[in-house]
Amino acid sequence: MAKKPIEPFLWGLFSAGGVVAALLIPVHLFLFGLAFPLGWLTPPGYESLRALASHPLARIYLFVLCSFSLFHWAHRFRYTLYDGLQIKHLNEVITVFCYGGALAGTAAAGYLLWGLR
């Protein structure tokens, strides 16, 4: 039986992470980096943000935002090191470091998000 490569799956995670990061992160940066600090919008209080983050759909949203963005970073960083810096002899180490970091960050995000009460 031929070994199936995992590369198409990793490219899928990369593209999904790019779409999620491009569409959702600018909204968060605008709200929490400009609109609330400059007084354009009334900032939400701690309790209202905690109540929002406690909702299951908001937890799923934040988990998807974190995990897909991390896998986008991992794939981009891997190929920056591999192709851009020509470190081809460390391909296995770089792959484990990048995707292992994305998996660890995803696990940490899941633990933190589902640990909220």
**Burial class for 53, CB neighbours closer than 10 Å (0-12, 13-18, 19+):** middle
Chain segment 42-84, per-residue pLDDT in tens: 999 999 999 998 999 999 999 999 999 999 999 999 989 888 8
Chain segment 74-111, per-residue pLDDT in tens: 999 998 988 888 887 888 899 899 999 999 999 999 99
**Residue 8 near residue 16 (C-beta atoms within 8 A):** no
Mean pLDDT of 5-27: 91
**Residue 110 near residue 81 (C-beta atoms within 8 A):** no
Cα separation, 46 vs 44, whole angstroms: 7
pTM: 0.84
